[in-house]
Structure 1
Amino acid sequence: MTTTQTIRIGIIGSGGIARAHVNAYKTIDNVEIVAVADLVPGKAREFIEANGLTAAQPFEDHRELLQLDLDGVSICTPNMAHHRTSVDAMKAGKQVLLEKPMSVTLDEAIEMVQVSKQTGNMLTIGFQPRYDPNMHIVRSIVQSGQLGNVYYVETGGGRRRGMPRGTFVRKELAGAGAMADIGCYSLDMALHALGYPKPLSVSAYTSNFFGTNPKYHPEADRFDVEDFGVALIRLEGGIALNFKISWAMHMDTLGATMFLGSEGGLKITPAGKGPWSGVWDGKVGSMTLFHDVLGHHTESPIPVKEHSLNLFQEKVKDFVAAIREGRSAPIPGEEILYNQAIIDGVLRSSELRREVEISLPNL
């Protein structure tokens, strides 16, 4: 496929995140959005008109959209539809850019990876923070060996107030709450830096004291997901991962992300201020390397790279480039399967009130 050939894209789901996808595609040369599907009658047509997609066809059934000659699809549905639409798209021969989280259940995620392998079609997951150059620095430091044997990682974040509404807070549509919405970003940051070691077990606690209280949330009567969670996860290689996340709390922060190694430690703080900040869906605020130099305790600030990248646009551009160049998925489902396995383990452990093992097939 040449760089001048037009890439034909379909959008499945026309909520708020779909607008971000459309805006990103519009910045890329030789890309055309030719179809939009949404199961709500009339919604796809309204979306097309509102976003100036004059050449796009509306559909209420995503399977009809998938019958078109398309190079790729962006899947922007509520979480509960991620699995079915992704599987249908790959079986229809389309390359897939799927919004996070990967799925609602671990079994769904496993099938999605299996279908991607069977069909040879791409399944890439939308973790745009990966495109922050500072995230590349974090990974390069961890992978360089200068921390020695990494044995403990602490990640996560907390908003003092930052609870979404609508489909995000209903278990039947979202599957999970803060874990799936923002926790998956924190997990990806840590696991990607480590090289995505396999999770082995999880001991977790979750709660939703804020979401179910009308004083804090206007949809408290139908809020049935977690707004807080904490877990200790055992990873391959003898690594302990302390994971914590919160949509709302009476505290300013749940702390920095930390990597502790036998030869050094790395501390990273998120950027941003205000009640919706403090989680890893934003930018890096600071990075510090803790190590010994000639027997002296030393703290070395790592300069934060200033950039003007639109990380969401970078994610979409990379997807299009992978289609053009015939490359594999930029953020492959095989990796994010481990992310989903941890979220699944957190929810199971919390419900059972005990540690649970994570069992994954060889794919």
Structure 2
Amino acid sequence: MSKTLKIGIIGSGGIAKAHIAAYSKLPFVEIVAVADVIPGKAGQFVESEKLVGAAAYDGHQKLLEQDLDGVSICTPNVSHHITTVDSLRAGKQVLLEKPMSVTFQEALEMTQVAKETGNMLTLGFQPRYDPNMKLLQDIVQSGRLGKVYYAETGGGRRRGMPGGTFISKKLAGAGAMADIGCYSLDMALNAMGYPRPLTVSAFTSNHFGTNSLYHPEASKFEVEDFGVAMVRFENDLVLQFKISWAMHMDTLGATMFLGTDAGLKVTPAGKGPWSGVWDGAVGSISLFHDEYGGHTETPIPLVEHKLNLFDEKVRDFAEAVRDCRPAPIPGEQILIQQAIIDGVLRSAEARREVSIELP
């Protein structure tokens, strides 16, 4: 007899609804509890989402006292650290929405607690479940490119600035770099096997967010809406990382990997002012190489699929809990990109290159 997993949801905003919808498609999962820091909000969520029999709690501590196999953490960024640490120490397996945390030190403690307790901490990067992202990883790690010495990733929305908790330095920690930049970093770093970063030299700005012509909450806008960085890694590898919530341009260019034997160019799918970043699907993959003395470009056929990537993320977590598998996207990996984002912000503020110190 297969076990029914008891899952709790911490945070009852819009992203929690997506988790509920994904869990509802899994016959071996039951949502038994919801918590929110705002009094009464969890109860309203349970009622509106028709979660029959689920308990509602004002705050996550009471929820963690219940008999649960795992939790989805769907809170604002500022709460990711404490809810994750408390959940892991309470013996729960954790699926955490991106970005991992507000600060690097928070992310470091989260990974340390996961290791100490032996409980799972996996991060919610659904683009990884696109078969074409896996194809990209296979190509880069196959050796076809030779030694990869330079990579470039990022993207930009013509207009795509969020508001509310996303633009508060205290609540979000960072702006575009953490919100959509984390997807770009994960795509490139995962393809290259998450190399160890050494230094960062970066620039950030928020010309659009702080201008009332472009943002209705300009007076409250505290984070970056644009950033660019050069990251140096071990083994003579450098990465150019650039991201934008708003700009007077159609694109910041494709993601690319330059190798000694070949190069790879990847474009995102989607059109319109909110597209152009790696929170969606792959648009095209092209291999640039020399054959018989001539410059050759080979289009790589994309894998056709109808997967709901968000559903795949939640399903993989639930099955990993059920089958006692390791974390699908472990915190130890995402800690590296948190270190890079932390370095970007420190470098931009200091207006010089800074070192990245990893344990």
**Do the structures match in fold with TM over 0.5?**
yes
1:274 is paired with a residue whose SS is: coil
Query: How far does residue 242 in structure 1 lie from its aligned partner after superposition?
Result: 0.1
Q: Tell me which moved more, 153-162 or 49-58.
A: 49-58
Equivalence map 1:1-363=2 (5 Å): 4-361=2-359
Query: How far does residue 134 in structure 1 lie from its aligned partner after superposition?
Result: 0.2
Residue identity opposite 1:123 in structure 2: L
Query: How far does residue 30 in structure 1 lie from its aligned partner after superposition?
Result: 1.7
Cα deviation code 1:39-70 (max 9, x no counterpart)? 10111011111111011111112011000000
Cα deviation code 1:141-165 (max 9, x no counterpart)? 0000010000000000000000111
Residue identity opposite 1:14 in structure 2: S
1:93 is paired with a residue whose SS is: coil
Cα deviation code 1:233-284 (max 9, x no counterpart)? 0012211000000000000000000000000000000010000000000110
Aligned-pair identity (%): 70
Asked whether the equivalents of residues 174 and 223 of structure 2 are also in contact (C-alpha less than 8 Å), the reply is yes
Structure 1: 5+ residue stretches without partners: none
How many equivalent pairs are there?
Answer: 359
Q: TM-score of the superposition, structure 1-length normalised?
A: 0.98
Asked whether the equivalents of residues 38 and 59 of structure 2 are also in contact (C-alpha less than 8 Å), the reply is no
Structure 2: 5+ residue stretches without partners: none
Query: How far does residue 90 in structure 1 lie from its aligned partner after superposition?
Result: 0.3
Provide the rounded CA distance (Å) in 2 between the counterparts of 1:199 and 1:261.
19
Provide the rounded CA distance (Å) in 2 between the counterparts of 1:169 and 1:295.
52
Asked whether the equivalents of residues 123 and 331 of structure 2 are also in contact (C-alpha less than 8 Å), the reply is yes
Query: How far does residue 103 in structure 1 lie from its aligned partner after superposition?
Result: 0.5
2:267 is paired with a residue whose SS is: strand
Residue identity opposite 1:323 in structure 2: V
